[in-house]
Every structure is written in C-alpha cells, then in structure tokens.
Amino acid sequence: MIMSTMITVLLITTGPPLIWAACARRLQRFSVNGPLLMVVLGGIAGWFVADESAAFFDSKLALYLAEVILALLLFVDATDVPGSLRSHATSVPLRLLAVALPLSLILIMAIGLSLPLGLSAAGVLAITCVAVPVDFSPQLSIIKDTRIPPSVRRWLGIESGYNDGLISPLLLAALALASTTGDPGDQALAAFLTAAPAGGIAVIVGALIGTVAGWAFRTAARAQWCDIGSTRIGVLALPLFTFAVAVTAHGNGFVAAFVCGVAFRIALSARGNNPADKPGAEFSLADDVAGVVNLQLWLAFGIAGISLVVSNVNWWPALVLAVCVVTVGRILPVLIALIASPAPWRDRIFMAVMGPHGAASIVFGLIAYNALPNEDGEAVLAAACIIVLSSLVLHGLGASRVISLLYGRIPNHYRDHKVDSSKPLHG
C-alpha cells in the first residue's frame, strides 16, 4: 500500500514537469507557460486523488513543506533584487512598499470585515496576506518586455522581491490571532506580541548568517578553498540552514531566509569590482531548484483547486474578496501612492494594473489552510485559488494589450525575437 502510494506521488509530481520540459518552446507559441500547464495538469490529476490530496494539504507535513519551500523562494527572491540597498530606497519603490502595500492591506481588510462573509478577523487577515504579494514568475514576459522602460522593470522587480518578505510576519500574526480567545482588541494585541518577537529574531538570525556566510564564501574563494560548483551547493543549502536555525531560536524561518538572502548577496558581492551587482554563477543551482519548486507549487495549486471543488466549499465569500483584490485592491493604492512621484502617468497606470500573483500567494494559502479552523482555512485556500487563477488568466491574456496601449506595439522586425519567458522562475 505504501509503495503504491509513493509510486502515485512520483508519477503525479514528475510527469507534468517532464511534459513541460519537452514542450516548453512549442507551448510558448500558444501563450501557454509553465505555471498554466501545471495548473491544468494538476487539476486533471487532482480529480482522481481529491480525497487523498485534501488530507495531505491539511497535514503537518504539508505545512512544513510549504514553509521550507517559501524559505527557499524568498531567499532566491532576495538575491535576485538588483542593486545595493541604497539603490532600492528610491522614491518609487519606497512608495510601492511603504505606501501602496499598507493601503492595499487596509483596503482589502476593510472590505472583508464590512461584508457579511461569515469569516473571522483572522480569516480575513489571512486572505489579505494571500492577496497582496506581487509575483511576476507566472508572467515573466511582463517584466522582460523591452518596450517597458528599464526603470519601470527595475521598480517592479524590487517591489516583487520585497513585498512577500514584508507580508510574512503579518500572516503569522493572522494565524496567531486565530488561536486566541477573548476581547477582539486583546486578541489583536496578543497576535502582534506573538508574531513580533519571532520577526525580530528572524531579522537578527538572517542578517548574521547571511553576512557571515557571504564573507566566508568570499574569503574561501580568494584562498582557493572552494570552486564555483561547491559554492553553488553551499548557496542552495544556506536558506534551509537559516530556516532551521531561526525556527530553533523561535523565530520566523522564512523571514530569516529572506533577510539572509539580502545580507548574503551584499557580503558575497563585495569583491572590489561592483558591489551593487549580483553574482551570477554562484546562484545558478539555487535558481534552477527554485524553478523546479515553482513548477511543483503550481501543480499543487491545480490539485488543491480541484479538491476544493469536489468538497463543495462555500465559494462566494472568497469570490467577493477576490474580485476586489484583482481590481481596486491593487490599482487604487498604487495610483494614490504614486501621486507627485517622478514616474510618468503611463508608468503609474502600468504598475497599478500589472500586479500578478503567484508562488507566495499559493504558499501563504496552503499555510493558512493548514493552520486555521476548517471554515476559515477552506475560505482562505478558496480565495487563494480564485485570486491566483484570475491573475493567471487576466494578466496572461491582458498584459500584452496593456503594454501595446501604453508603450506601443512590437516592431515587425522584432516579432520573431521575443523574449522567451517560459523559464519557470520564482518571483
């Protein structure tokens, strides 16, 4: 029985990526990227294993796997953010992260609490955390399109690199809020007091390990104690090690992994050439593993969606919030945040409209589904499914038209040389 189950799991988790790997270029011609294919194949597979998959997603093993996966993705996201910390703190990225992000949280939270959705405050807060992070991994062609000004692509890259790391502590507060009883004000305070120390410990652990590891690898490379191959393996192991240390110290493991990525990139890059540049070859293995993990997440997303359909979940509360998320929840806060900014109006409109959701939203949804009570957990996972699927369709089909309207069409002599966006990168 155990062997049969293992074989089934292997077939489901390896078959779809093999299909994508063999047909990626051909599928791209029909605007079918890796995430979309994984969702479709995951939905087909999930139809036959709906009961088993629902039990798995509600297990401690699924929770631990989701947290470790998020730690890896956040680490690689942090190392992918271009430039130095000083270059990140420019006007537009700061407005997106310090103004638009909180406004989105407040707006979606207010809508969720004001409507008769039958959800607890913790459930609405968890859905808000699922809804806010921006991730361009499912629609990489958006941020790679050369018609978009380099400054806009850079701003969006910085935003997508940081926002999921900033939202993670808030998700932990929502989960802590669900486990408290008593006065709502006292509940919120208790949730904050529970999550805040874990976040502080995570920042200290991540910064310390990242800085020391970056210095150690840089020194070892100069002394020829290691080579590119061994460094790649070390970089892949680093976020998992950081996660384990942070959890052991009662901190937030995936926030620690994110901070570690930022500190490690800066420390490793300080070689006397250009410390603002991210090293390339050292990160290739972690990038590739993150790409594989990202495909598996989209596969799990398809399976989870079918499991919810089969279990007759009440979809309408999640649907209401999802509609708000993919419309005013992103557009209005970004436009407000960018008032009087140096960005031209067409750039502001583009950044407001283009807010795709991906890996972080999926993992946040799985974590909340596992940790929250049944009704709230199902509603959060249902909202994650609707939000991410809506984003996959709307931004996938509409991005090219929006880019054409704002920045012009692709010249004829460039049509055969479009950027290949099929690589399943993380956010």
Find out if CATH 1.20.1530.10 is the number for domain 32-410.
yes
CA-CA-CA-CA dihedral for 369, 373, 378, 383, to nearest 10: -70
More confident residue, 366 or 84: 366
Would you state the pLDDT for residue 413? Answer: 41
8-state DSSP, 411: P
- Least confidently predicted of 251-260, 281-290, 386-395: 386-395
Q: What is the Cα–Cα distance from 120 to 375, expressed in whole angstroms? A: 9
- Identify the sign of the CA torsion 149, 151, 155, 158: positive
Residue carrying the six token digits 């940790």? 371
User: Which helix (H) or strand (E) segment is 51 a member of?
Assistant: helix 50-57
Q: What is the Cα–Cα distance from 347 to 149, expressed in whole angstroms? A: 8
> C-alpha distances in angstroms, 26 versus 14, 20, 33, 137?
20, 10, 10, 19
- The residues, any chain, with a CB within 8 Å of residue 65's CB and separated by 6 or more, are none
Q: Is residue 385 very low, low, confident or very high in pLDDT (cuts 50, 70, 90)?
A: confident
pLDDT digits (tens, 9 = 90+) for 230-276: 999 999 999 999 999 999 998 888 888 888 998 898 888 765 444 44
CB 125 within 8 A of CB 178: no
Would you state the pLDDT for residue 99? Answer: 93
Say which amino acid occupies 112. G
Per cent of the chain over pLDDT 70 is: 80
- Identify the sign of the CA torsion 214, 216, 218, 224: negative
Q: Is 204 exposed, middle or buried (0-12, 13-18, 19+ CB in 10 A)?
A: middle
Q: What is the Cα–Cα distance from 317 to 12, expressed in whole angstroms? A: 31
Measure the N-to-C terminal CA separation of the chain; round to a whole number of Å: 38
pLDDT digits (tens, 9 = 90+) for 160-185: 777 877 887 788 777 777 766 555 55
Q: Is residue 424 very low, low, confident or very high in pLDDT (cuts 50, 70, 90)?
A: very low
Residue 187's SS3 state is: helix
Would you state the pLDDT for residue 73? Answer: 83
Q: What is the Cα–Cα distance from 18 to 11, expressed in whole angstroms? A: 10
Residue 120 has which token pair? 């607890």
Q: What is the Cα–Cα distance from 180 to 186, expressed in whole angstroms? A: 9
What residue ranges in 172-319 does DSSP mark as E strands? none
Of 210, 214, 213, the residue nearest 202 (C-alpha): 210
CB 387 within 8 A of CB 121: no
CA-CA-CA-CA dihedral for 287, 293, 294, 300, to nearest 10: 180
- The residues, any chain, with a CB within 8 Å of residue 381's CB and separated by 6 or more, are 57, 304, 308, 365, 366, 368, 369
- The residues, any chain, with a CB within 8 Å of residue 425's CB and separated by 6 or more, are 137, 140, 287, 290, 291, 294
Would you state the pLDDT for residue 416? Answer: 41
| Average pLDDT for 347-370 | 85
Q: Is residue 206 very low, low, confident or very high in pLDDT (cuts 50, 70, 90)?
A: very high
The total of other beta-carbon atoms located within 10 Å of residue 160's CB is 25
Of 205, 243, 245, 248, the residue nearest 70 (C-alpha): 243
Q: Note the pTM of the prediction, 2 decimals.
A: 0.76
pLDDT of 144 above 60: yes
Q: What is the Cα–Cα distance from 147 to 168, expressed in whole angstroms? A: 33
CA-CA-CA-CA dihedral for 295, 298, 304, 308, to nearest 10: -160
More confident residue, 357 or 51: 357
Would you state the pLDDT for residue 241? Answer: 96
pLDDT of 103 above 90: yes
Q: What is the Cα–Cα distance from 359 to 164, expressed in whole angstroms? A: 10
